[in-house]
Amino acid sequence: MHTVKFRDPAGSTRRGEWHGDHVSFGGRTYDLDEIDVLPPSEPSKIVCIGRNYADHAAEMDNEIPDRPLLFLKPPNAVAGYNDTVTLPAGKERIDHEAEIAVVIGDAARNVAADEAMEYVAGFTCLNDLSNRDDQRQETNWVRGKAFDNAAPIGPVVASPDEVPEDATIELRVNGETRQSSSRDHLAFSVPDLIEEITTYLTLEPGDIIATGTPAGVAPLEDGDHVEVELDGVGVLEHDVRIP
C-alpha cells in the first residue's frame, strides 16, 4: 500500500491511498490537481547516515566508517512533494543527495537487527540538501544540514513489502540523471542502522532514517526541478529557489 497525507478541497487534512494520478479516501477519489500533497510523515527528528555508499565516500575523498556515521535534521527541515524549496542565499555550493528514507511505525529502543523491520512503517524518498560552504567549516553540521526545508520527503509511504531489497534510487535535475544506485549497495543495512541508532536514542513513530546517498552529488541552481525516484515508492518532485 502507498499511503499519502493530503489537504482536500475543503481544507481538511486526510490520510488516504495513492494511486499514481489520484488519491482515495472515505469512498471518494481526488485528482492530484484538486489537493495539496503534504509530507507523508511528521518526524520528531530525521536521523541521517553519512558515507553509507562506497562510491559517494570515494567521491568525497573519504572511506566507509567502522560504524554508521550519524547526524540529525530537525522538523523544520521537512518539505514536501511539489514544494518550491528556498535555499540559503549567498552560498557557493548547495548539493542534492538522493536517499532511501525509512519511516518508523512504532517507538523503538534497543532493537536487535533481526527484529528491526517490525518497527518500520515503510519507505519514502528524501533529498538531503547540503550546504557545503558551512558544512566544511563546522563539526556538527547545523548550518550545513539543518536549515529550513533541507529535507524534502515524499510523496508517499510505501509499505515494506512494496520496496525490494535491491530497490533502485535515482535523482534527476531538469530531466538529467545525476545519481543512480540501489538499496543493496548500502554499506550498513536498514536493520543494522536501526539497531545502532536505537542503542543510543529512541525512534518515535513518524521519525525518519535517511540511509545515505550514492555518488553523483552536485550543486543546485535557482529554478532547478528535482526528481528523486525510489523503486516501489514513486517520484518525489520539488523545485529550487535561491534568493
Provide block-wise average pLDDT over 10 residues at a time, the chain (243 residues). Answer: 97 97 97 97 98 91 93 98 98 98 98 98 98 94 98 98 98 98 97 98 98 97 98 98 96
Q: Which grid cell sits at 154?
A: 515524499
CA dist., res. 49 & res. 176, Å (int): 25
With CA atoms as reference, report the closest residue to 82 among 135, 27, 134, 6: 6
C-alpha cell at 106: 512504532
Nearest to 88 by CA among 45, 144, 152: 144
C-alpha span between 102 and 229 (Å, rounded): 15
- Segments making up each domain of the chain, as ranges: 1-37, 39-241
pLDDT, residue 61, reads: 87
Only one residue has cell 530525521, namely 46
CATH number of 39-241: 3.90.850.10
Placement of cell 573519504 in the chain? 62
> Does this model's pTM top 0.85?
yes
What does the pLDDT look like over 16-72, one tens digit per residue? 999 999 999 999 999 999 999 999 999 999 999 999 999 998 898 888 999 999 999
Select from 9, 143, 32 the least CA-distant residue to 82.
32
Coil, strand or helix: which one is 239? strand
Domain topology for 1-37: SH3 type barrels. (2.30.30)
Q: Give CA–CA dist 196/65, Å, rounded.
A: 13
Contact residues for 27 (Cβ-Cβ < 8 A; gap 6+): none
Q: What is the pLDDT of residue 109?
A: 98
For residue 158, with 0-12 CB atoms within 10 Å meaning exposed, 13-18 middle and 19 or more buried, which class applies?
buried
Phi, psi for 12 (deg, rounded to 5): -85, 140
